[in-house]
A = this chain, B = another copy of it.
């Protein structure tokens, strides 16, 4: 794409040769010939002289003389727009329904849905318009997938699960596997049937190889706008509130409720049957064993409010020295005791 065309689409002001061909986008320190880059943070201005980029997005107030540039209000935002313009959308790789696709009885697939090879669509499955399903996905009976969704390769959707609109699901995700429910019977365990479902609301993104179990009865629900990183485990009957963000390898146990706009860092473990309040923040690797009030930042194992936990952490770090100090105090006290005994004896 020519720089001048991109400039028009970004509604910027072109300075330099508009005929330059933009092939890729790159960070200023990595850019090669043919790349468009951007300068938003002044600490990267030092790269201006050495960058090999063919063109750069800069702020209106910016001054560049060695490279063709486009002046815009917010270079980083315009760069993000440029990314969407220059790179082909992933939902345009497959067109129509590949002849290898196997579709069950009474499946209802909207007309402009794209489905890659080796996909199985079970009976009574509903797929909304403009949804794209990559190769190897397996969608079992009675599942419902909304409009504008993007399922990458080898995604698994169990029977009866519901995915609403504009949802992105990365490869290897499992939605609707049985909750981990067993009733002890002597020393053995009997399986408790898991007949609930999973509901993924609109605008959710789910990272690669996540597992989201169906409810025992009722629903496991991920609410509108939540974003889930890779390898996250969400157990049966969990509810994740709107616009909540969960980083990689976190696990949430059964029947726990996360509020709205919660931030969960990586490798956090959350016990079952508790509530995490709106806007709470859970630090990486924390082990959350009880309710977290609204807006609080928690940390640790077992976790508590971060300010207290950090204080404990600092004390802990100096514990070996505290031991030495106490040993010294003991010595002094014994000396004092001896002296006092002598004094009492009148010596």
Contact = CB atoms under 8 A, between A and B. Distances in A.
A191 B177 contact: no
A306 to B, nearest CB: 12
Interface stretch (A15-23, A61-69, A131-139): A131-139
B170 A93 contact: no
A44 interface: no
Given A170-B177, A180-B248, A266-B251, A154 B152 contact: no
Interface string A204-236: 010111010100011000000101011101010
A195 B248 contact: no
Q: How many copies does the complex hold?
A: 3
Interface in A1-37: 25-27, 30
Interface stretch (A106-114, A117-125, A290-298): A117-125
Contacts of A170: 174, 177-178
Given A87-B193, A251-B248, A231 B260 contact: no
A177 B339 contact: no
B230 A233 contact: yes
A96 interface: no
A54 interface: no
Interface string A327-343: 00110110011011001
Given A235-B248, A323-B322, A156 B156 contact: no
Contacts of A344: 339, 343
A117 B261 CA distance: 41
Given A193-B87, A319-B315, A172 B340 contact: no
Nearest to A271: B284
A325 interface: yes
Contacts of A245: 182, 189
Interface of A: 25-27, 30, 80, 83-84, 86-87, 90, 93, 98, 100, 102, 116-118, 120, 122, 134-136, 138, 140-141, 152-154, 156, 158-159, 168, 170-172, 174, 177-178, 180, 182-183, 187-189, 191-193, 195, 203, 205, 207-209, 211, 213, 217-218, 225, 227, 229-231, 233, 235, 242-243, 245, 247-249, 251, 253, 260-261, 266-267, 269, 271, 284-285, 287, 289, 301-302, 311-317, 319-320, 322-323, 325-326, 329-330, 332-333, 336-337, 339-340, 343-344
26 contacts: A25-B217, A93-B140, A93-B159, A117-B120, A134-B138, A134-B140, A136-B136, A154-B154, A168-B178, A177-B230, A180-B227, A180-B230, A180-B248, A187-B260, A187-B261, A188-B203, A211-B230, A233-B266, A267-B269, A269-B285, A315-B320, A319-B319, A322-B322, A332-B333, A333-B336, A340-B340
